A = this chain, B = another copy of it.
Amino acid sequence: MNDAHYAVILAGGRGERFWPLSRHHRPKQLLRLVGEQTLLAQAVDRLAGLIPPERVYVVTNQDLVEACRIAAPRVPPEQIIGEPVGRDTAAAAALGAALIKARDPQAAFCILTADHVIGDEDTFRATLRESLALARRAPWLCTIGIPPTEPSTGYGYIEVGDPLEEAGGIVFQRAKRFVEKPDAATAQRYLEAGTFCWNSGMFIWSVSTLEAALRQHCPGLAALIAELTPHVGSPRWEPELKRVYERLDKISIDYALMEKADNIVMVRGTFAWDDVGSWPALANHFPADSAGNVVIGDAVTQDAHTNIIYSQGRLTALIGVQDLVVVQAEDATLICPRDQAQQVKKVVEQLKQNERLAPKVL
């Protein structure tokens, strides 16, 4: 066999935290939050030279397939797959494995995210390249851990164990355990201990290693691969996919596999990485003016300090306010204090109950 590598980009999120810019049919991965391209397009493009678009698969919601095809036009359209129903990341990973196994049963592939911002792309690609090489020669479940820079309570953590190997400056270590999002005190302890990394949600393994692990820890998803692989590219694909998906439970890769398996290795991701989970997180990617305001788009300010203003296509004028997030979308505006930006989900919930407004702005 050749040693071509593959990627499965998980692009199923809804991204309510970026409302009103994100909408049901325009989630975060389809926004141009940072740079000229959508986050999804950037996720494809940054694989250049390592995994070409014709070996990239995108797994998304059925109703986002067309939008993803438009956003990532170099990925072959039939490789942008809509899940009949959302069954969380483990099912999406297994679906990706089925698609790739049909093409190359010896393949190694990576599971990547569609909605993160990643810098130092050479380091990122080197990390994937070495991880794919490792996954091809040994039955490791490899995950990318990010050395933490702050005691974040927004990420899961990986406790790092013994060194495994180093290749081309890329460091592999055993993973002792996966832990869920901690409280602030625990996060602080993890940071100080120096033996924890953030769980980036990116994984590298071979089809056969993943299948073996699923057979042991999550047989339903091993069955998914076995049942779906024969139908890839056939007229039976759509009905089989629907039939198989409907009986699945919702379960994440972390729960299904990473918290159970003992053949886990962590590769240290030393590139810049941010899951950009909120408007204030986004603001970190832009310069502030002399009053500390971050303006993306057009704004004028008078005695206004340390606000975050996303105002593309219209003008926002702020007078005498501090520490606000102001987001302008085509037909809706969000205004909230920076430290309450997470509450935007509540507004989305409130709008879902509003039969008059919901069709316009969700």
Structural contact, B317 and A340, CB atoms closer than 8 A: no
CA distance A344 to B351 in the complex (A): 31
Enumerate chain B residues within 8 angstroms of A37, measured Cβ to Cβ.
none
CA distance A328 to B320 in the complex (A): 17
**In the complex, what residues of B have CB within 8 A of residue A321's CB?**
324, 335-337
The answer to whether B343 and A319 have CB atoms under 8 Å apart is yes
Q: Which residues on the B side are within 8 Å of A97 (C-beta)? A: none
Residue of B nearest to A333 (CB): B316
* A314 pairs with B333, CB closer than 8 A: yes
* Given A298-B357, A300-B357: A347 touches B333 (CB 8 Å cut-off): no
Chain A 230-251 per-residue mask, 1 if CB under 8 angstroms from chain B, else 0: 0000000000000000000000
Residues of B within 8 A of A340 (CB): 303, 319-320
A331 sits at the interface (CB 8 A): yes
Min CB gap A340→B, angstroms = 4
Closest chain B CB from A304 CB (angstroms):
8
Task: Check if A137 is an interface residue, CB within 8 A of chain B.
Answer: no
Q: Flag A292-325 by CB within 8 Å of B: 1 or 0 each.
A: 0000001010110000000100111111110010
Q: Are A300 and B335 in touch, CB under 8 angstroms?
A: no
Chain B nearest CB: distance from A82 CB in Å?
29
Q: Does A7 contact B (CB under 8 A)?
A: no
A316 to B302 CA separation, bound complex (whole angstroms): 21
Asked if A319 and B300 sit within 8 Å, CB to CB, the answer is no
CB-based contact B319/A333 at 8 Å? no
**Residue A326 at the chain B interface, CB threshold 8 Å:** yes
Distance between Cα atoms of A300 and B336 in the complex (Å): 12
A95 smallest CB distance to B (angstroms): 35
Which of B311, B315, B334 is within 8 Å of A317, CB to CB? B334
The CA-CA distance from A156 to B295 in the complex, in Å, is 41
Q: Is A67's CB within 8 Å of the partner chain B?
A: no
Closest chain B residue to A321, Cβ basis: B335
Other 20 A-B pairs with CB < 8 A, given A300-B357, A316-B332, A317-B336:
A300-B351, A302-B343, A302-B347, A302-B350, A303-B343, A315-B333, A315-B361, A316-B335, A317-B332, A317-B335, A317-B344, A318-B336, A319-B334, A319-B335, A319-B337, A319-B344, A320-B337, A320-B343, A321-B335, A328-B333
